[in-house]
């Protein structure tokens, strides 16, 4: 059995942040208070800290608004890797595995879990390094499959429905003015021409009135 | 193997074409009809909880599970084909309703010239202007013959739009380049989201003829001639790749299933994976399938309708050894011949200074121009044949798939500078897209892969497919036109489409693949006749876009469904009285 690992997120990373919506009006993002201790499903604590630090360089928290840290991107990635996606349920995995042309797409046997495990090895201790040094390391691996996945997953973790573990408090959606899954824009679609329509975001569970089972909980 | 009681008609595949055939047979005859669908049962009520980008838009919950079966691809016969291991360039449907559940609903008619393309190009440009390796053919059906069926299909689906050619009279505001229509669209055009309105204004300013995209995401509450009522679209934006939770988008489950549910002589078996069509002495006897419990079953039937979509239709014919496989070296054989996709590009990506509210929209809410379709324009300045549609569709942009696109002036793809620019442009980026004609070539075809297998051990389908210069030149010419339109729309910065290069399985293009079981004038060049009846096995019909000899730029579904109506009429009015060949 795998030893239980936890990731501790400090309150200061999630508390009220100033963000600018796309129409340039500042507003305070409402986020949870207090320390969060999140059980990890795939990563060890060290790995999680490294992934979180790398995601925070890809999508940093800075003057243009919060980033991967506040959205909890690492939690999203941890759950995805623990679930069917990590085990390659969404890929044809029959051998033989042969080298192909770029237009034939990814052809290796390694699944997303393998790619992270291997990709993280040379990054050990990444989270303890200075930002500039971290950027240099990431620049060095920019063209790897691992980095491509990490970048994609960071964006996904920023903007997924919160049921998947990322986009905490819909911080990503608030950042880009995305209102979430709404049933209707019938009145607005031909009225808001050239001006922003930015209703408060809602999550899927709020819209349908019950919890929805995400794919990562499937076998 | 379990042997079931015989039925009159067995239909393989529960998408638009299979379920339409089922509903025509069930409602107009007393025949017993069984639809075998390898995916799961579905209904409108399932779809509200499906408004999740990750599980549906990215993990593709509604699509055929690729781990069970995929296709292999190579660009040329001398290369080794490898499996497409994760979905990219197209997304095969699965489950009741098929791809018709999660389609976008853009519903063009083809132009009259498309139905006689070979003759048309020879007359206009001379046979010598054709690429030497082309495999073009005239369709054995004309636009005029299909027109009543187009009309029927539009009314059944409740397609929204504006006519541009009503019985020969040109009407501004519609697509003036379309063939003559016998009737106006059954429902008025969709409302225009901002980007679509900008495109329309700019196109008009440039002297083009913009028209609202014909949309099966019906604009208003509508009751079709079959008495099926659906609500109007609310522009929720969870449309392409999603099922519509209010049933506004015309889908087989909300438009055809209401006619079939509870009918005594109709049965739909979900989870039934057909492996072979059994034929002997020029007669189909039935089909072999594996049921949802994994048991092998033989379903005898008097008639077999194959409606499992282009690639599966072709594969099942090959696996069943019905008809001679096509050989590109000799040009002999028919099954697998004439594989075409569609030239589908983001012709120009434009960055604006105003917010677009891109999340509002519908799969077919947009504006298009036909000024560069077919031969609507002078090809003197174009070094290619054919053309297509430039359009903008506001399908409801989703953040995970679309975040991060930045102008070319921003070099980085991650970090502070990229993030700042990506945030700034997230809701200010619009695409002008292009759908273009894909000619048939001798070397683009399908056969069975010698190496890779599906989860049951049957060989995968192998695609040998690449773009030729005609498509590459077309794509780059249209990209130039799109940039001009984007400029007229007031874009600050514009990124051109980088060029077609080689056929790329990783870039989503469209799920519009055609050919493999094409219709034609005779059995040496085609698999089916103009009623989609197999030349050699007259009680076997092969429905869907597998019958198209080549791709005529627009999206295929309206035409495929119109052809199924036509086959249904021929079967019900003539074949049932005198079973045998219809031509
Ligand atoms: C994201 C997306 C957007 C699209 N947008 C548009 C659009 O805007 N306009 C347009 O014209 N078209 C569009 N299309 C294409 C359109 O959906 C298809 O052309 C159309 O639905 C095909 O209908 P069909 O009945 O021929 O096949 P399908 O809908 O694919 O149905 C075939 C069925 O057969 C089943 N099947 C396959 N093999 C077997 C087997 N061996 N045994 C049993 N069952 C089997 C499959 O599970 C499937 O349900 C889109 C497609 C996608 C994926
Ligand atoms: S955009 Fe319209 S048609 Fe599409 S899913 Fe939403 S309501 Fe249905």
Other beta carbons within 10 Å of B48: 20
The partner residue sitting opposite B404, judged by closest CB among A65, A155, A177, is A155
Concatenated DSSP letters for B321-365? T-SPBPBTTTTB--BTEEEE--EEEEEEEEE-SS---TTSB-TT-
Radius of gyration of chain A (CA): 19
Token pair for B138: 């005239």
pTM for this prediction: 0.96
Minimum-distance ligand 2 atom for the alpha carbon of B237: 1
For residues A36-75, one letter each, b for 16 or more C-beta atoms within 10 angstroms of the residue's C-beta and e for the rest, the string is: bebebbbbeeebbbbbbbbbbbbbbbeebbbbbbbbbbbb
The partner residue sitting opposite B416, judged by closest CB among A62, A90, A195, is A62
Is the Cβ atom of B547 under 6 angstroms away from ligand 1? Answer: no
Q: Given an 8 Å threshold on Cβ–Cβ distance, is A161 in contact with B193?
A: no
Q: Given an 8 Å threshold on Cβ–Cβ distance, is A64 in contact with B423?
A: yes
Minimum-distance ligand 1 atom for the alpha carbon of B363: 8
Minimum-distance ligand 2 atom for the alpha carbon of B233: 2
pLDDT of A24 > 60? The answer is no
The rounded Å distance from CA B37 to ligand 2 centre is 25
pLDDT for position A150: 98
Radius of gyration of chain B (CA): 23
The rounded Å distance from CA B460 to ligand 1 centre is 18
Residues in B closer than 8 angstroms to A96, CB to CB, are: 451
Sign of CA dihedral A59, A63, A64, A66: positive
The partner residue sitting opposite A161, judged by closest CB among B54, B82, B415, is B54
Of all protein residues, the one whose alpha carbon is nearest to atom 14 of ligand 1 is B103
The rounded Å distance from CA B101 to ligand 1 centre is 8
pLDDT for position B44: 85
Residue B110 is given by DSSP the state P
pLDDT of A32 > 80? The answer is no
**Which residue do the tokens 């009314």 mark?**
B155
**d(C-alpha B426, C-alpha A196), whole Å:** 12
Is the Cβ atom of B556 under 6 angstroms away from ligand 1? Answer: yes
Helix axes A131-141, A45-58, angle to 10 degrees: 90
A104, A141, A144, best to mutate vs chain B, most B CBs in 10 Å: A104
The partner residue sitting opposite B414, judged by closest CB among A58, A161, A208, is A58
Q: How far is A38 from chain B (nearest CA, A)?
A: 22
For residues B471-481, one letter each, b for 16 or more C-beta atoms within 10 angstroms of the residue's C-beta and e for the rest, the string is: bbebbbbbbeb
Q: How far is A215 from chain B (nearest CA, A)?
A: 6
**What proportion of chain A, given as a percentage, has pLDDT over 90?**
81
pLDDT for position A21: 47
Q: Given an 8 Å threshold on Cβ–Cβ distance, is B54 in contact with A175?
A: no
**d(C-alpha B461, C-alpha B453), whole Å:** 9
pLDDT for position B429: 97
Identify whether the C-beta of residue A27 lies closer than 8 Å to the C-beta of residue A17.
no
**d(C-alpha B225, C-alpha B203), whole Å:** 36
**d(C-alpha B106, C-alpha B214), whole Å:** 6
Q: How far is A2 from chain B (nearest CA, A)?
A: 27
**d(C-alpha B150, C-alpha B559), whole Å:** 7
Q: Can B455 be counted among the known catalytic residues?
A: no
pLDDT for position A147: 98
Residue of B nearest to A165 (CA): B54
In sequence order, what E strands does B176-272 have? 210-212, 222-223, 229-230, 266-270
**d(C-alpha B77, C-alpha B563), whole Å:** 32
Other beta carbons within 10 Å of B358: 25
Minimum-distance ligand 1 atom for the alpha carbon of B560: 26
Q: Given an 8 Å threshold on Cβ–Cβ distance, is A176 in contact with B426?
A: yes
Is the Cβ atom of B24 under 6 angstroms away from ligand 1? Answer: no
Concatenated DSSP letters for B380-394? GG-SSS--EEEEEE-
Residue A28: pLDDT band with limits 50, 70, 90: very low
The rounded Å distance from CA B111 to ligand 1 centre is 23
- Integer angstrom CA distances of residue A214 from A80, A123, B110, B402: 10, 30, 41, 21
Output the average pLDDT for chain A: 89
pLDDT for position A20: 45
Minimum-distance ligand 1 atom for the alpha carbon of B16: 25
Q: How far is A179 from chain B (nearest CA, A)?
A: 8
Identify whether the C-beta of residue B362 lies closer than 8 Å to the C-beta of residue B396.
yes
**d(C-alpha B39, C-alpha B63), whole Å:** 9
Token pair for B238: 């969870």
pLDDT for position B493: 97
- Integer angstrom CA distances of residue B582 from A37, B152, B531, B535, B541: 72, 22, 7, 10, 11
Q: How far is A16 from chain B (nearest CA, A)?
A: 20
Token pair for B478: 């249209």
Note down pLDDT in tens along chain B; length 583 residues. 999 999 999 999 999 999 999 999 999 999 999 999 999 999 888 898 999 999 999 999 999 999 999 999 999 999 999 999 999 999 999 999 999 999 999 999 999 999 999 999 999 999 999 999 999 999 999 999 999 999 999 999 999 999 999 999 999 999 999 999 999 999 999 999 999 999 999 999 999 999 999 999 999 999 999 999 999 999 999 999 999 999 999 999 999 999 999 999 999 999 999 999 999 999 999 999 999 999 999 999 999 999 999 999 999 999 999 999 999 999 999 999 999 999 999 999 999 999 999 999 999 999 999 999 999 999 988 999 999 999 999 999 999 999 999 999 999 999 999 999 999 999 999 999 999 999 999 999 999 999 999 999 999 999 999 999 999 999 999 999 999 999 999 999 999 999 999 999 999 999 999 999 999 999 999 999 999 999 999 999 999 999 999 999 999 999 999 999 999 999 999 999 999 999 9
Sort residue B528 into left (φ over 0), alpha (ψ -120 to 50) or beta.
beta
Residues in B closer than 8 angstroms to A106, CB to CB, are: 85-86
pLDDT for position A34: 61
Number of domains in chain A: 1
**What proportion of chain A, given as a percentage, has pLDDT over 70?**
86
Residue A22: pLDDT band with limits 50, 70, 90: very low
Q: Which of B209, B341, B512, B534 is catalytic?
A: B512
Greater pLDDT, A8 or B465 = B465
Concatenated DSSP letters for B497-529? -----S--TTS---S--EEES-B-SSTTT-SB-
Q: Given an 8 Å threshold on Cβ–Cβ distance, is B52 in contact with A176?
A: no
**Which residue do the tokens 């379903």 mark?**
B299
Give the domain range for residue A36.
5-217
The partner residue sitting opposite A65, judged by closest CB among B197, B423, B502, is B423
Q: Given an 8 Å threshold on Cβ–Cβ distance, is A93 in contact with B426?
A: no
For each of the domains in chain B, give its residue range(s) and CATH number, in order of start: 1-43+93-159+250-341+440-452+510-583 (3.50.50.60), 167-248+343-437+466-502 (no CATH)
**d(C-alpha B462, C-alpha A214), whole Å:** 34
**d(C-alpha B178, C-alpha B111), whole Å:** 6
pLDDT for position A151: 98
Query: ipTM score here?
Result: 0.96
Nearest ligand, measured from the Cα of B47 = 2
Residues in A closer than 8 angstroms to B501, CB to CB, are: 103
Of all protein residues, the one whose alpha carbon is nearest to atom 46 of ligand 1 is B94
- Integer angstrom CA distances of residue B490 from A194, B394, B429, B433: 12, 18, 12, 17
């Amino acid at each position: 059995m795998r030893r239980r690992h936890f990731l501790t997120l400090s309150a200061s990373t999630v508390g009220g942040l100033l963000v600018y919506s796309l129409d340039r009006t500042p507003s305070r993002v409402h986020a949870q208070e207090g320390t969060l201790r999140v059980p990890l499903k795939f990563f060890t604590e060290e790995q999680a800290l490294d992934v979180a630090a790398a995601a925070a360089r890809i999508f940093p928290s800075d003057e243009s608004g919060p980033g991967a840290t506040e959205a909890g991107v690492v939690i999203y990635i941890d759950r995805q890797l623990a679930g069917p996606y990590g085990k390659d349920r969404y890929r044809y995995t029959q051998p033989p595995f042969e080298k192909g042309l770029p237009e034939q797409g990814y052809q290796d046997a390694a699944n997303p879990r393998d790619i992270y495990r291997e990709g993280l090895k040379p990054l050990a201790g990444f989270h303890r390094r200075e930002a500039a040094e971290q950027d240099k390391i990431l620049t060095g691996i920019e063209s790897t499959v691992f980095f491509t996945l990490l970048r994609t997953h960071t964006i996904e973790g920023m903007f997924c429905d919160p049921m998947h573990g990322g986009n905490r408090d819909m911080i990503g959606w608030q950042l880009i003015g995305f209102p979430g899954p709404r049933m209707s824009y019938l009145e607005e679609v031909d009225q808001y021409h050239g001006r922003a329509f930015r209703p408060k975001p809602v999550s899927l569970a709020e819209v349908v009135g019950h919890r929805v089972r995400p794919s990562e909980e499937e076998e | 193997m379990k042997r079931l009681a015989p039925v009159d008609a067995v239909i393989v595949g529960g998408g638009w074409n299979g379920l339409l055939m089922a509903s025509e047979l069930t409602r107009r005859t007393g025949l017993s009809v069984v639809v075998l669908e390898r995916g799961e049962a579905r209904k409108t009520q399932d779809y509200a909880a499906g408004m999740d980008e990750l599980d549906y838009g990215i993990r593709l919950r509604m699509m055929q599970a690729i781990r069970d079966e995929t296709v292999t691809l190579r660009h040329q016969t001398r290369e080794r084909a490898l499996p497409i291991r994760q979905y990219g360039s197209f997304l095969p449907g699965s489950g009741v309703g098929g791809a018709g559940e999660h389609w976008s609903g853009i519903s063009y008619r083809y132009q009259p010239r498309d139905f006689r393309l070979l003759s048309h190009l020879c007359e206009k440009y001379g046979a010598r202007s054709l690429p030497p390796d082309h495999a073009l053919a005239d369709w054995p059906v004309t636009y005029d013959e299909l027109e009543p069926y187009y009309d029927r299909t539009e009314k059944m689906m409740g397609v929204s739009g504006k006519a541009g050619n009503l019985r020969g009279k040109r009407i501004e505001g519609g697509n003036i380049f379309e063939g003559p229509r016998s009737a106006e669209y059954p429902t008025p055009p969709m409302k225009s989201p901002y980007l679509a309105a900008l495109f329309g204004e700019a196109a008009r300013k440039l002297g083009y003829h913009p028209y609202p995209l014909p949309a099966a995401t019906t604009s208003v509450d509508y009751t079709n001639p079959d008495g099926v009522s659906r609500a109007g679209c609310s522009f929720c934006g969870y449309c392409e790749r999603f099922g519509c939770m209010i049933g506004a988008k015309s889908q087989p489950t909300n438009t055809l299933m209401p006619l079939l549910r509870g009918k005594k002589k109709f049965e739909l078996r979900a989870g039934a994976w057909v492996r072979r069509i059994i034929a002997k002495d020029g007669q189909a006897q039935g089909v072999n399938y594996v049921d949802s419990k994994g048991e092998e079953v033989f379903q005898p039937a008097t008639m077999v309708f194959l409606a499992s979509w282009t690639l599966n239709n072709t594969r099942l014919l090959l696996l069943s050894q019905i008809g001679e496989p096509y050989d590109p070296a000799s040009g002999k054989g028919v099954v697998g011949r004439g594989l075409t996709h569609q030239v589908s590009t983001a012709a120009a990506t434009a960055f604006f200074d105003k917010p677009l509210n891109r999340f509002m929209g519908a799969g077919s809410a947009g504006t298009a121009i036909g000024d560069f379709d077919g031969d609507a324009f002078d090809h003197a300045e174009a070094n290619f044949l054919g053309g297509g549609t430039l359009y903008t569709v506001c399908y409801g942009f989703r953040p995970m798939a679309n975040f991060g696109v930045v102008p070319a002036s921003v070099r980085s793809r991650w970090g502070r500078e990229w993030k700042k620019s990506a945030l700034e442009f997230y809701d200010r980026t619009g695409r002008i897209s292009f759908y273009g004609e894909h000619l048939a070539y001798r070397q683009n075809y399908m056969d069975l892969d010698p190496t890779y297998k599906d989860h049951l051990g049957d060989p995968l389908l192998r695609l040998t497919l690449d773009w030729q210069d005609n498509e590459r030149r077309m794509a780059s010419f249209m990209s130039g036109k799109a940039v001009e339109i984007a400029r007229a729309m007031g874009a600050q910065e514009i990124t051109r489409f980088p060029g077609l290069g080689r056929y790329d399985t990783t870039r989503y293009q469209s799920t519009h693949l055609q050919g493999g079981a094409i219709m034609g004038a005779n059995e040496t060049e085609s698999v089916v006749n103009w009623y989609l009846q197999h030349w050699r096995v007259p009680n076997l019909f092969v429905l869907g876009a597998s019958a198209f000899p080549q791709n005529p730029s627009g999206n295929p579904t309206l035409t495929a469904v119109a052809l199924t109506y036509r086959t249904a009429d021929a079967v019900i009015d003539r074949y049932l009285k005198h079973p045998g060949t219809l031509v």
